Chain A
């Protein structure tokens, strides 16, 4: 008995140390959610802003004490959806090619290539966007886009940034489709494209959707690259794709250095942060739902 005690103590120490680490992480996350919620809700409960005016107000003009977040909410969703539309066909297309058509090339050449894109820091994408994409947009559209900054430029930069995320995850999804499915389809005389389209894509659909949602999560939360190219106009609703606009993240970056802590403006910025936080939780929830549905479909 006495002999066993040190062993048991050792085990407890191990459990204690590792448990502490996990608890620390959980505690930090809880603190974060609590703090963002507390600061963000102050706007409504202490400063007395009407939540409806906040979420649906079309003008964000801090010097007039008007805090309508709709221009930024619309901006964030616009660039997220548009960049997904740009990136999705390219990402899925490449994933199909390197998994179904040329697997060796995919693993040896394409994968390292696309991983290079993941590694590029977001400010570098921002620099590219600012000096290259904005000039291109300006050159193409002329007076319609006097500075080149706007929703379109922001979406293009984001599309390049989320391309590797969606591509690599889609590749994983397609690879996870059991080979018997393909063999079965070929045995029925189907061509490769028919097999891919009717069998492989269909059975990988839940994982592909997860890949897309993860890409959208990244686009929605991306900060500096977007802020550098979108133009930063928050005061009213954007009216077109070439219009300079702002996103929740861009408004935060620009606003936090000008707002004094404790002011209504500061709390309103935290409310924007709260929207971002809530949206990332929603994205996680969607991924979980897809996962559960996929599991159910597979029995």
Chain B
């Protein structure tokens, strides 16, 4: 009898202890930020210190990593942790406040509920242009926007319909939810959707894989950001005769592009807000613009047009 009592008591104890452990762990806090606001330094040279974390879209992660390297070199007391996970993760985490910067290829409003967007600050740090690419063996060099739309709606299925040789068009898509895909479809499909029966030959998780698959598949077509276009086995198409270049995006002639967003919070802790702000300013600065261009992105400064969340392009 006593043995039974005992085990029951022990089990209660166990549950209590576990709950306590869980509670403690929760108190341990989420952020990796250990910044100390150094407010007292001279106004001339206030040294930045603190650590922030930045998570989200993988498309411009290398750019942000390069920026973080430069920035940490200039500010040795700052550390910036960069993790990947996709736009969705970046937006969720900034909405929860578990990171200081959330990277996204799309507007937060498109992925988050309205109440989650409250308090988020949209920093558009640069622009990414995208365009259609095809397997190098495809004998078509220019495509009209209507033809492009037709292909991705599953209406145009053979290269001969575009003046090429008789070969089936193999559509390679990005996965559902990808920011690149959302941008491309918004600019090209104009709100129309492919019929349910339409099946791409692959839905892949990243631009790098798109390049590999397009290069390996005869008659393949897909789309990538400008910085992926210089690869063996693929070629970029001109759209309505316009080349996918930085200058054409800046002038507004080439319309498939989107902003790269780095979301921050209005109510960010004072200890890290200064670092976050300085880091974002650094990425958008003229000093860093050269690296931005090098990596195939377009700095904000030279744009003559702007795009709103609904995709309408107006003069800046």
Contacts and interface: CB of A to CB of B under 8 A. Distances in A.
Check whether chain A touches chain B (CB < 8 angstroms).
Answer: yes
Contact of B96 (A235, A257, A261, A263): A261
B10 A19 contact: yes
A19 B199 contact: no
B201 A15 contact: no
Contacts of B200: 233, 235, 244
B202 A260 contact: no
B88 A232 contact: no
A232 B175 contact: yes
Given A23-B14, A62-B176, A262-B116, A147 B201 contact: yes
Interface residues of B, number: 49
Interface string B10-52: 1101110110000000000000000000000000000000000
Contacts of B18: 23-24, 27
B202 A233 contact: yes
B173 to A, nearest CB: 8
Contacts of B193: 61, 64
A122 interface: no
A236 interface: yes
Given A61-B176, A261-B92, A147 B11 contact: no
Contact of B11 (A19, A59, A234): A19
B85 interface: yes
A15 B7 contact: yes
A222 interface: no
A62 B172 CA distance: 18
B219 A258 contact: no
A58 interface: yes
A262 B14 CA distance: 32
Interface of B: 6-7, 10-11, 13-15, 17-18, 85-89, 91-92, 95-96, 111-113, 116, 168, 170, 172-173, 175-178, 182, 185, 193, 196-205, 213, 216-220
Interface of A: 12, 15-16, 19-20, 23-24, 27, 58-64, 138, 143, 146-147, 149, 231-236, 239, 243-244, 246, 254-263, 265-266
Can you list the 4 inter-chain pairs with the closest CB atoms, starting with the nearest? A258-B177, A257-B86, A23-B14, A261-B92
5 contacts: A138-B216, A232-B175, A232-B202, A235-B200, A244-B199
